[in-house]
DNA sequence: AATTACTTGAGAATCATTCTCAAAATAATT
DNA sequence: AATTATTTTGAGAATGATTCTCAAGTAATT
């Protein structure tokens, strides 16, 4: 299925850089693919640990960088002073809404916003490289508490 | 003029919390008001130092927090792993474009984006608290280099 | 001027992340 | 399968921004 295909693509990406396919790298990628959340390094570390796989945090960071570089993961920053990572299975571009009470992250996309961003840049002769857009909210559940 | 009025408002804000008006707090606020840039703590520290005023970094952080709390400053995070601060003289809400080459920061506002953000939230019954929106660009000047 | 309460600065602490380097593992070659 | 060359890993140190601690200093009040 799809997951194994992705793992193989990751192996190819590793080899394409003349790097080595290691058990640690595969564990990390698999763990990332099996989890839809937006997790920080520590959460991935603990999740692997609980499943009996010990991989150092340094290796997790290094492997996530590699995954990001090759399009398998996305690194995001919601202003917490630390990075979160999500897999890119079924990738469609999206931004995030973050509940300031419970931390829940919801994705959103809006084509008008995407277009306007491009217009703002071209009006100034700036070349748009990427953007970072988060809405900080109180989610429906937290409002009723 | 306007600057002195703001300084007086800051003094009032300090007193309103039963805190003390100190030379360090005033120096920091004045320095912030006299500079239109989006600066990190260290830049403010160095600028004060160069003008012959030594204030510890801890005090700069503490005072900027106070200024933010009372609406005299805005704290921003453009994903550098550190905060930047701008004054709120002539405050109008805006977001930022950051040149990935030279670091130049340009402000932008777009009412359609502001409205759409609210619509996205209300469609989910989320209450929008604030947002963070940056466009990472190559600015006109950097393109011609 | 005395009292009380808050502020300051120095340096330690914190926290996420990166770096260093020796030991271990992989890949390529025999 | 053994050898070799190269890369990877993990432990812990290093880094860098920011916060914390606490003794000494200062502002406000009486």
Closest residue of A to B104, CA-based?
A126
Distance in Å from D20's C1' to B29's CA comes to 23
Which pLDDT does position B3 carry in this prediction?
A: 84
B140 shares contact with chain A (CB less than 8 Å): yes
Q: CATH fold of A2-87, please?
A: Arc Repressor Mutant, subunit A (1.10.10)
CA nearest to A82, candidates A44, A35, A120: A44
Q: CATH fold of A95-143, please?
A: Dna Ligase; domain 1 (3.30.1490)
A77 contact to strand D (CB, 7 A limit): no
Distance CA B86, CA B114 (A): 21
Label residues B129-143 b or e (16+ Cβ within 10 Å = b). eebbbbbbbbbeebe
Tell me the Ramachandran region of residue B3: left when phi exceeds 0, alpha when psi lies from -120 to 50, beta otherwise: alpha
Q: Residue A21 — φ and ψ, nearest 5°?
A: -80, 115
Residue A21: which nucleotide is closest by CA–C1'? C26
Residue A18: which nucleotide is closest by CA–C1'? D7
CA nearest to A118, candidates A110, A126, A106: A126
pLDDT tens digits along A1-32? 688 899 999 999 999 999 999 999 999 999 99
Alpha helices by DSSP H, listed for A70-139, are: 111-123
Q: Residue B80 — φ and ψ, nearest 5°?
A: -95, -5
Q: B137 vs A126: CB contact, 8 Å cut-off?
A: yes
Each domain of chain A, given as residue ranges in start order, spans 2-87, 95-143
Distance CA A72, CA B56 (A): 44
Closest residue of B to A118, CA-based?
B135
- Nearest CA to the C1' of D17 belongs to which residue? B82
CA nearest to A143, candidates B120, B124, B130, B132: B124
Distance in Å from C30's C1' to A10's CA comes to 30
pLDDT tens digits along A71-100? 999 999 998 999 999 999 877 899 999 999
B8 contact to strand D (CB, 7 A limit): no
pLDDT tens, N- to C-terminus, chain B (145 residues): 688 899 999 999 999 999 999 999 999 999 999 999 999 999 999 999 999 999 999 999 999 999 999 999 999 999 899 999 999 987 789 999 999 999 999 999 999 999 999 999 999 999 999 999 999 999 999 998 7
């Amino acid at each position: 299925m799809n997951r194994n295909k992705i793992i193989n693509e990751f192996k190819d990406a590793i080899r394409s850089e003349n790097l080595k396919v290691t058990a640690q790298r595969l564990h990390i990628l698999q763990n990332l693919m099996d989890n839809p959340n937006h997790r920080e390094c520590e959460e991935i570390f603990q999740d692997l640990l609980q499943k009996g796989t010990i991989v150092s945090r340094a290796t997790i960071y290094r492997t996530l960088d590699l995954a990001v570089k090759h399009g398998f993961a996305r690194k995001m920053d919601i202003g917490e002073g630390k990075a979160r990572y999500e897999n890119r299975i079924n990738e469609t571009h999206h931004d995030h809404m973050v509940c300031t009470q419970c931390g829940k992250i919801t994705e959103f996309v809006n084509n008008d916003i995407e277009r306007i961003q491009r217009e703002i840049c071209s009006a100034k002769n700036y070349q748009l490289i990427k953007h970072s857009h988060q809405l900080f909210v109180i989610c429906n559940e937290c409002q009723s508490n």
